[in-house]
């Protein structure tokens, strides 16, 4: 049994223009202690998928499918059990620590509050654990920082605090939703290092959600690429980068400017733009932008399957050839 | 060859509470006609402020901004307004940089109205031409409001507005940072095409080194209001001389699973610009810092091959 | 348009209908087949509804329906005109203060604080005492008192929009101050101001009623809803309808303006407008 099993998740969001299918039948599994990268552009459904797993969807959203965490179906358990589960087993780090931290409470209060409630430790115990956590996530003079408010810290330090809070109840799964997008590149490197270190030392599973293929390349065991609400390719990280089968993944990688290319090298851009999620095309959602597409691609959505290698799934009827 | 844009010893200060923050400290830069100069640095380093000071959107405390030989800081308002037709700007947030209550046709025509083109038919003709140029269909775009378009399309509209007066210099302030990867490449290519088509000179401000590398002939690196290093693009990426440039390059996450990210490349965060460190501003994070760095502020000095670095102990 | 419909609902249209009805009645009052609102009939005092007097008569034998309709004329004209004064002066000051900042802004916000600190009742009494009691003076007083609120709304909206890059873009293009204020800022600030205007109308109608009730508002015998409530109070035991009818009409009108204002504000909220 895997730590996390997501089965045929569908998330529908009502909008003034009609029903928007944000997540369109996603299956995922994540083993304990492993890191899964979820890569997608804006509107690909990656954030809604993480919200569905956390049961933090907007009130009006409609969810179907099963989400099993440690064997328990998160969609069926009562709210109280879910709240406990969310704090102790699944933790989350959001993109913007300025909005995920409460501006009127000190860091110490926010850090100790969760531990006291969910672990039932005493105030002094929570404080000493909190200080140790702050030290662990690389915050200098943690005793003093406990009394600070979020706005007194830099963006990178705030994200470290958010990570410390997420780790405070020793979760089995950490969902990091674009944890470094709001940060500068040198700070991003530090935060990614920190997440990787904690993930390894705590033997914690991690879901790293990002739009940046560079972020997942060196730091994940497996990668799932999302497009228009669906997982379109999923494979162990090295396999995925070396033998891309789905044209979208390959095009996304090719569209990135390369550091080793000379200046003024023309970028192989992907034409067009993602489909309207309210009126999606009947066939492959990427077909209108795909240079390999033929009329057959517009007939039906290709299922995610692994015809060649068991661990390498892709949703394409005209996949790129297996590289030698 | 004289530079089209020659920034000389510019200082920009802002009042913060009852103190003064120096966002840009004695920066000098020259951009040759037809060149793209990339300006990189992390948030708060003053790169955007510098770009806006070029367009006189901020009044520099001292220094000069020579454009085609004329000092923009000394131009009288009417002369400056005339000069603005030759200098344009593209912003980071494509949606916020377009007035949500005005139609795209009016937004793109605005520079013409300000420049005194009174013939409405002539304006419409030019708006249609420039919209087509940036890859938009004038028939379906002109009558719509900006929120009906995606981020990438809004950035195309912004570019059309910047191009319609056929300027000589465009300051691009993080023009692709807010866009998705697949759209980013389209806009980068469009800017390159437009540069060739209109013979533009670009000051390209960004925090993403890979994007800067793709478009720039030379690159300047900024840290806490000062220039650390300026070099031809290939040189800067192959043999960075400033430890900060090295750090920036090492911190980029590479989309290649065979390159294991080196852990611990970066330490600390940029100090507050309200109280910058004495001497070299990078010394608090620099692995090579010595006593001298705390006392002496290093000035830009030339290395062979057109590279300039402000460091007492340059790499290589 | 479909999006607008989905977010408004039946209540909004009822409110709009009521406002239209009251406005129309007030406008065409002279040609309506109703008795004069000031003609007294000493022998038909506090009569119940009849064919001659659809809503009965008041303590001086005047037709209640006619007084309500002519009262709407006064209540609404004061209620609409006073916020127009606030909107034009306050809105203008707020826009300029938010755009130019600096010393002018300090001066305007200081002025606003002074006006807000001045007790409104004292001002109304002082004006009536020195300039006499008239609808014109009442409108001016209420308009003046509304200026600070409009200034604040306009200034806050202007500050938000001035920070947006499209304003910087206009400056970079060389647009003058007037052009930026009129073309870039005004269309954006107008929407929150317009919504606030409707709330202003509602508040003014209530305040006008209160002042008239206290005898500081519309001079008798002219009917306004406040005056009618005041007069009705004297015969509350014998004919409670005389006070309650104008109160209900005022209540419905104020509620309608508030509802319409709230809905319009929600519609123009940029967060929802982005959808």
Same domain, A269 and A286: yes
Quick check: is A281 in a domain?
yes
Q: Do B237 and A259 touch (CB under 8 A)?
A: yes
Give pLDDT tens digits for C36-87. Answer: 777 776 776 777 777 666 777 777 778 888 888 888 888 888 889 999 999 9
CATH of domain B3-100+166-309: 3.40.50.300
Whether the predicted pLDDT of C268 surpasses 70: no
Query: Average model confidence (pLDDT) for chain C?
Result: 83
* Confidence (pLDDT) at C29: 80
Q: Are strands A173-177 and A90-93 parallel, antiparallel or unpaired?
A: parallel
Q: Do B57 and C168 touch (CB under 8 A)?
A: yes
Token code pair at residue C133: 């009691």
**What is the Rg, in whole angstroms, of the alpha carbon atoms belonging to chain C?**
22
Q: Do A15 and C275 touch (CB under 8 A)?
A: yes
Of B274, B272, B270, B296, nearest in space to B284 by CA: B270
More confident residue, B165 or C262: B165
Q: Which of the four pLDDT bands, split at 50, 70 and 90, describes residue A324?
A: low
Q: Tell me the average pLDDT across A80-98.
A: 82
Q: Do A241 and B256 touch (CB under 8 A)?
A: yes
Q: Do C168 and B97 touch (CB under 8 A)?
A: yes
Q: Do B263 and A258 touch (CB under 8 A)?
A: no
Residues of C in contact with B115 (CB under 8 A): 174
Provide the β-strand partners of residue B227. B222
- DSSP state at residue B214: H
Residues of A in contact with C7 (CB under 8 A): 16
Same domain, A282 and A310: yes
How buried is B12 (Cβ within 10 angstroms: 0-12 exposed, 13-18 middle, 19+ buried)? buried
> Which domains are delineated in chain C?
12-22+54-273 (1.10.3720.10)
* Confidence (pLDDT) at B11: 95
Chains that touch B (3 or more CB pairs under 8 A): A, C
Quick check: is A251 in a domain?
yes
Provide the β-strand partners of residue A5. A29, A68
- DSSP state at residue C57: B
- Which residues between 210 and 249 in chain A have a beta carbon less than 8 angstroms from any beta carbon of chain B? 211-215, 217-219, 237-238, 241-242
Within 10 angstroms of residue B31's Cβ, the number of other Cβ atoms is 24
Q: Do C7 and A16 touch (CB under 8 A)?
A: yes
- Rounded CA gap, C160 and C167, in Å? 11
- Rounded CA gap, B230 and B28, in Å? 11
Query: Average model confidence (pLDDT) for chain A?
Result: 90
Number of domains in chain A: 2
Same domain, A150 and A223: no
* Confidence (pLDDT) at C2: 43
| Beta strand spans in chain C (E) | none
Quick check: is A157 in a domain?
yes
Q: Is A264 on the interface with B (CB under 8 A)?
A: yes
Same domain, A210 and A308: yes
Which one of B67, B101, B150 would you mutate to disrupt binding with C, by most C Cβ within 10 Å of its Cβ?
B101
Same domain, A283 and A136: no
Say how many CB pairs under 8 Å bridge A and C.
9
* Confidence (pLDDT) at C116: 86
* Confidence (pLDDT) at C274: 35
Q: Is C2 on the interface with A (CB under 8 A)?
A: yes
Same domain, A224 and A85: yes
Same domain, A80 and A223: yes
Residues of A in contact with C275 (CB under 8 A): 15-17
Whether the predicted pLDDT of A77 surpasses 70: yes
Quick check: is A282 in a domain?
yes
Give pLDDT tens digits for A183-235. Answer: 888 889 999 999 999 999 999 999 999 999 999 998 999 999 999 999 999 99
Chains that touch C (3 or more CB pairs under 8 A): A, B
Q: Do B52 and C164 touch (CB under 8 A)?
A: no
Chains that touch A (3 or more CB pairs under 8 A): B, C
The region of weakest confidence among B42-56, B164-178, C194-208 is C194-208
Q: Do B253 and A215 touch (CB under 8 A)?
A: yes
The region of weakest confidence among A147-151, A284-288, B270-274, C94-98 is B270-274
* Confidence (pLDDT) at B1: 55
Token code pair at residue B236: 């800067």
The CATH number that applies at residue A80 is: 3.40.50.300
Quick check: is A155 in a domain?
yes
Q: Tell me the average pLDDT across A79-105.
A: 83
Q: Which of the four pLDDT bands, split at 50, 70 and 90, describes residue C135?
A: confident
Q: Tell me the average pLDDT across A270-278.
A: 87
- Rounded CA gap, A190 and A146, in Å? 21
Confirm if B228 and B311 have CB atoms less than 8 A apart.
Answer: yes
Note the residue count of chain C.
Answer: 275
Q: Do A187 and B257 touch (CB under 8 A)?
A: no
Same domain, A83 and A211: yes
Give pLDDT tens digits for C83-119. Answer: 999 999 999 999 999 999 889 999 999 999 998 888 8
Give pLDDT tens digits for A5-57. Answer: 999 999 999 887 888 999 999 999 999 999 999 999 988 999 999 999 988 88
Q: Do B91 and C165 touch (CB under 8 A)?
A: yes
Q: Which of the four pLDDT bands, split at 50, 70 and 90, describes residue C26?
A: confident
Q: Which helix (H) or strand (E) holds B31?
A: strand B19-32
- Rounded CA gap, C189 and B9, in Å? 40
Q: Is B114 on the interface with C (CB under 8 A)?
A: yes
The region of weakest confidence among A145-159, B183-197, B284-298, C43-57 is C43-57
Of A90, A96, A95, A125, nearest in space to A111 by CA: A125
Same domain, A211 and A301: yes
Q: To the nearest whole angstrom, how far is the Cα of B197 from the nearest Cα of chain C? A: 21
* Confidence (pLDDT) at A75: 84
- Rounded CA gap, B136 and A286, in Å? 21
Give pLDDT tens digits for B112-162. Answer: 999 999 999 999 999 999 999 999 999 999 999 998 898 999 999 999 999
Q: Are strands B201-206 and B36-40 parallel, antiparallel or unpaired?
A: parallel
- Which residues between 268 and 287 in chain B have a beta carbon less than 8 angstroms from any beta carbon of chain A? 269-270
Q: Do B181 and A252 touch (CB under 8 A)?
A: yes
- Rounded CA gap, C67 and C230, in Å? 13
Residues of A in contact with B214 (CB under 8 A): 257-258, 261, 263-265, 267
- Rounded CA gap, B7 and B108, in Å? 29
Of A115, A110, A18, A11, nearest in space to A55 by CA: A11
Same domain, A211 and A260: yes
Q: To the nearest whole angstrom, how far is the Cα of C18 from the nearest Cα of chain B? A: 30
- The beta-carbon neighbor of C188 closest among B97, B100, B161 is B100
* Confidence (pLDDT) at C3: 47
Residue A230's Cα: distance from chain center in Å? 14
Quick check: is A294 in a domain?
yes
Quick check: is A268 in a domain?
yes
Quick check: is A21 in a domain?
no
Q: Do A186 and B251 touch (CB under 8 A)?
A: yes
Prior bond to C221 cis, omega within 30? yes
* Confidence (pLDDT) at C8: 65
| Beta strand spans in C153-247 (E) | none
Q: To the nearest whole angstrom, how far is the Cα of A127 from the nearest Cα of chain B? A: 25
Domain that holds residue A298: 32-60+73-89+176-181+204-314
What is the domain partition of chain B in residue ranges? 3-100+166-309
Whether the predicted pLDDT of C4 surpasses 70: no
Q: To the nearest whole angstrom, how far is the Cα of C101 from the nearest Cα of chain A? A: 26
Q: Do B100 and C175 touch (CB under 8 A)?
A: no
Q: Tell me the average pLDDT across B74-93.
A: 92
Q: Which chain B residue has its CA at the smallest distance from C174's CA?
A: B81
- Which residues between 149 and 168 in chain C have a beta carbon less than 8 angstroms from any beta carbon of chain B? 164-166, 168
């Amino acid at each position: 049994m895997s730590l996390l099993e997501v089965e045929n998740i569908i998330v529908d969001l009502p909008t003034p223009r009609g029903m928007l299918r944000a997540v369109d039948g996603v299956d995922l599994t994540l083993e304990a202690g492993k890191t899964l990268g979820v890569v997608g552009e804006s509107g690909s459904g990656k954030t809604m998928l993480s919200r569905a797993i956390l049961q933090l969807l907007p009130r009006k959203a409609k969810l179907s499918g099963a989400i099993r965490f440690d064997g328990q179906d998160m969609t069926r358990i009562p709210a109280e059990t879910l709240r406990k589960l969310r704090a102790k087993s699944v933790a989350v780090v959001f993109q913007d620590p300025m909005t995920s931290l409460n501006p009127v409470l000190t860091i110490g209060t926010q850090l100790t509050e969760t531990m006291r409630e969910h672990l039932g430790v005493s105030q002094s115990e929570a404080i000493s654990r909190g200080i140790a956590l702050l030290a662990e996530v690389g915050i200098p003079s943690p005793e003093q920082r406990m009394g600070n408010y979020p706005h007194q810290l830099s963006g990178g330090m705030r994200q470290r605090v958010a990570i410390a809070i997420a780790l405070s109840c020793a979760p089995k799964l950490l969902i990091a939703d674009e944890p470094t997008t709001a940060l500068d590149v040198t700070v991003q490197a530090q935060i990614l290092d920190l997440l990787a270190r904690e993930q390894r030392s705590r033997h914690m599973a991690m879901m790293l959600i990002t739009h940046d293929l560079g972020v997942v390349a060196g730091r994940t065991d497996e990668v799932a690429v999302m497009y228009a609400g669906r997982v379109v390719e999923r494979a162990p990280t090295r396999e995925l980068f070396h033998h891309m089968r789905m044209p979208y993944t390959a095009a996304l990688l090719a569209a990135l400017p390369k550091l080793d290319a000379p200046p003024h090298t023309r970028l192989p851009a992907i034409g067009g733009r993602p489909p309207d999620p309210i009126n999606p095309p009947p066939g492959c959602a990427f077909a209108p932008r795909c240079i390999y597409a033929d009329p057959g691609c517009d007939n039906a959505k290709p299922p995610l399957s692994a015809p060649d290698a068991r661990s390498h799934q892709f949703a394409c009827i005209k996949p790129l050839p297996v590289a030698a | 060859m004289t530079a089209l844009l020659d920034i000389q010893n510019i200082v920009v200060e802002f009042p913060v509470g009852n103190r003064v923050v120096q966002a840009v400290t004695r920066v000098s830069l020259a951009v040759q006609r037809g060149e793209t100069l990339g300006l990189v640095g992390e948030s708060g380093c003053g790169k955007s402020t510098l770009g806006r000071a070029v367009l006189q959107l901020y009044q520099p405390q001292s220094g000069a901004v020579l454009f085609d030989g004329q000092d923009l800081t000394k131009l009288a308002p009417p002369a400056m307004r005339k000069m603005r037709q030759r200098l344009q700007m593209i912003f980071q947030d494509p949606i916020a940089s377009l007035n949500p209550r005005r139609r795209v046709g009016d937004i793109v025509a605005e520079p013409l109205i300000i420049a005194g083109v009174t013939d409405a038919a002539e304006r419409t003709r030019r708006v249609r031409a420039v919209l087509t140029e940036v890859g938009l269909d004038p028939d379906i775009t002109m009558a719509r409001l900006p929120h009906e378009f995606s981020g990438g399309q809004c950035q195309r509209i912004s570019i059309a507005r910047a191009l319609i007066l056929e300027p000589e210099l465009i300051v691009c302030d993080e023009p692709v940072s807010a866009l998705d990867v697949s759209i980013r490449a389209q806009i980068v290519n469009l800017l390159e095409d437009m540069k060739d088509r209109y013979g533009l000179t670009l000051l390209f401000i960004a925090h993403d080194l890979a994007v800067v590398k793709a478009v720039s002939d030379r690159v300047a690196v900024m840290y806490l209001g000062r220039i650390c290093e300026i070099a031809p693009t290939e040189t800067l990426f192959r043999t960075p001389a400033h430890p900060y440039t090295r750090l920036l390059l090492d911190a980029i996450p590479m989309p290649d699973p065979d390159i294991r990210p080196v852990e611990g490349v970066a330490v600390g965060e940029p100090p507050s610009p309200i109280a910058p460190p004495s001497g070299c501003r990078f010394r608090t994070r620099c692995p090579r810092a010595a006593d001298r760095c705390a006392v002496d502020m290093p000035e830009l000095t030339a290395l062979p091959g057109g590279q300039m670095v402000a460091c007492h102990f340059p790499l290589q | 348009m479909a999006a607008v419909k989905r977010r408004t609902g039946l209540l909004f249209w009822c409110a709009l209908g009521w406002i239209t009805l009251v406005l129309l009645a007030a406008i065409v009052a002279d040609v309506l087949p109703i008795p004069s609102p000031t003609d007294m009939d000493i022998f038909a005092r506090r009569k119940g509804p009849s064919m001659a007097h659809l809503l009965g008569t008041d303590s001086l034998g005047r037709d209640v329906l006619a007084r309500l309709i002519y009262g709407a004329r006064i209540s609404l004209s004061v209620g609409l005109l006073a916020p127009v004064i606030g909107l034009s002066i306050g809105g203008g000051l707020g826009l300029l203060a938010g755009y130019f900042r600096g010393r002018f802004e300090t001066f305007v916000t200081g002025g606003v604080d002074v006006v807000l600190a001045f007790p409104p009742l004292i001002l109304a009494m002082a004006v009536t005492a020195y300039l006499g009691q008239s609808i014109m003076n009442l409108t001016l007083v209420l308009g003046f008192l509304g200026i600070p609120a409009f200034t604040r709304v306009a200034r806050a909206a202007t500050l938000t929009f001035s920070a947006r890059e499209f304003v910087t873009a206009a400056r970079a293009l060389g647009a003058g101050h007037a052009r930026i204020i009129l073309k870039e800022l005004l269309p954006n600030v107008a929407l929150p101001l317009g919504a606030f205007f409707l709330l202003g109308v509602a508040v003014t109608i209530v305040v006008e009623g209160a002042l008239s009730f206290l005898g500081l508002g519309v001079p008798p015998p002219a009917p306004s809803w406040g005056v009618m409530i005041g007069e009705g109070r004297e015969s509350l035991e014998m004919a409670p309808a005389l006070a309650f009818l104008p109160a209900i009409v005022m209540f419905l009108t104020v509620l309608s303006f508030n509802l319409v204002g709230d809905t319009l504000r929600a519609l123009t909220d940029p967060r929802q407008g982005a959808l």
